[in-house]
């Protein structure tokens, strides 16, 4: 199912009144059994979008031994062009490997939801969208469940959708704290449970917030914080004042060159003029094995 060119569908359903209801209603009504394609919020599609993504879907099935458990997206063009610039660069330039390794960041799904294309069989297997209504990050929850069930992610490297930014978009109704809690639980489930210890890269606000949000078991796995800020490093340690333990936990603060991987990185990408990225590159680590971004 795809949008007619020049006739983009509204994200509001008369029957349900919110985005996830429309997605499921459209998939349920579609007479084509093979695939589901979600319409964007009012934004004109590029004519070849469905054809190219359908071809990629068939190629993935043929090329990977009838693997149907894949979400296929594409690159996008923002309207206005200067809206969400960092996010747009990120979503359009992730490498094929990073489509799976950078699933923990604050940016959310590694292919943008209005471009999603997948088999109906897989959509139903994952469990459809959460119809909790306003304030539910339904695309994030579906994407996480897709990953948990072994789903893959593929991007057509052509700009096939003009994605219009507007302040009334449903995404703005989701509280930051709600998304944060889902992200932390997903990180614990997908990464931290496999590690016996790790270092949080960022001894500042975001790193400490992550530490406080972790389960007690995962807090005990934190070997250290690391940073480049000499003032933070000079303090020597972070004391978890909210802890009920006595004595209160004290976590060392180290320079990043002295820290031991694996790392959970709480430093935002594309904000330091390349400084952070250069520091990370000097350690010659493998993303997804030695570190995960949680920024």
Q: What percent of the chain has pLDDT over 90?
A: 59
CB 88 within 8 A of CB 107: no
pLDDT of residue 118: 86
pTM of the model: 0.82
Tell me how far CA of residue 151 lies from CA of 68, 87, 228, 272, in angstroms.
9, 23, 37, 33
- Provide mean pLDDT across the span 91-114: 96
Out of 80-84, 93-97, 133-137, 279-283, least confident range:
133-137
- Provide mean pLDDT across the span 91-110: 97
Residue 115 has pLDDT above 90, yes or no: no
CATH architecture of 195-293: 3-Layer(aba) Sandwich (3.40)
- Provide mean pLDDT across the span 240-246: 94
Q: What percent of the chain has pLDDT over 70?
A: 74
Residue 216 has pLDDT above 50, yes or no: yes
Residue 52, phi-psi category: left (phi > 0), alpha (psi -120 to 50), beta (remainder): alpha
| pLDDT bracket for residue 107 (50, 70, 90) | very high
DSSP 69-124: -EEEEEEEEEESTTTTHHHHHHHHH--TTHHHHTTTSTT-SSS-GGG-EEEHHHHH
Mean pLDDT of all residues in the chain?
A: 82
Residue 287 has pLDDT above 80, yes or no: yes
Looking at 3.40.50.720, 3.90.550.10, 1.20.950.20, 3.40.50.2000, the CATH number of the domain 19-173 comes to 3.90.550.10
| pLDDT bracket for residue 119 (50, 70, 90) | confident
Q: Locate the domains of the chain by residue range.
A: 19-173, 195-293
The stretches of 214-285 forming alpha helices (DSSP H) are 216-219, 230-235, 275-281
The pLDDT tens digits of the residues spanning 127-176 come to 988 776 677 899 999 999 999 999 999 998 888 888 887 666 655 567 89
pLDDT of residue 3: 31
Q: How far is Cα 225 from Cα 245, in angstroms, rounded to an integer?
A: 20
The pLDDT tens digits of the residues spanning 3-58 come to 322 223 223 222 333 444 445 554 555 434 455 655 444 455 455 555 565 565 55
């Amino acid at each position: 199912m795809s949008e007619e060119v020049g006739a983009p569908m509204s994200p509001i359903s008369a029957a349900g009144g919110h985005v996830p209801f429309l997605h499921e209603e459209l998939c349920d009504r579609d007479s084509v059994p093979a695939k589901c394609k979600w319409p964007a919020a009012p934004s004109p599609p590029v004519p070849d979008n469905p054809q190219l993504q359908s071809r990629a879907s068939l190629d993935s099935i043929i090329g990977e031994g009838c693997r149907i458990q894949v979400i296929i997206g594409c690159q996008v063009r923002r309207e206005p062009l200067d809206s969400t610039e960092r996010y747009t660069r990120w979503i359009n330039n992730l490498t094929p490997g990073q489509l799976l390794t950078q699933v923990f960041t604050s940016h959310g799904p590694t292919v943008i939801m209005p471009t999603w294309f997948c088999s109906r069989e897989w959509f139903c297997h994952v469990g459809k969208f959460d119809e909790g209504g306003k304030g539910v990050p339904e695309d994030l929850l579906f994407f996480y469940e897709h990953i948990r069930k072994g789903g893959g992610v593929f991007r057509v490297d052509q700009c096939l959708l003009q994605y219009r930014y507007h302040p009334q978009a449903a995404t703005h109704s989701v509280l930051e704290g709600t998304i944060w809690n889902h992200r932390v639980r997903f990180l614990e489930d997908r990464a931290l449970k496999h590690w016996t210890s790790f270092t949080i890269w960022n001894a500042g606000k975001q790193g400490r917030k992550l530490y406080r949000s972790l389960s007690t078991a995962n807090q005990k796995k934190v070997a250290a914080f690391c940073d480049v800020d000499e003032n933070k490093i000079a303090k020597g340690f972070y004391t978890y004042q909210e802890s009920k333990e006595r004595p209160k936990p004290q976590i060392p603060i180290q320079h990043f060159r002295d820290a031991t991987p694996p790392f959970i990185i709480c430093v935002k990408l594309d904000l330091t003029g390349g400084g952070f990225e250069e520091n990370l590159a000097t350690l010659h680590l493998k993303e997804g094995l030695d570190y995960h971004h949680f920024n």
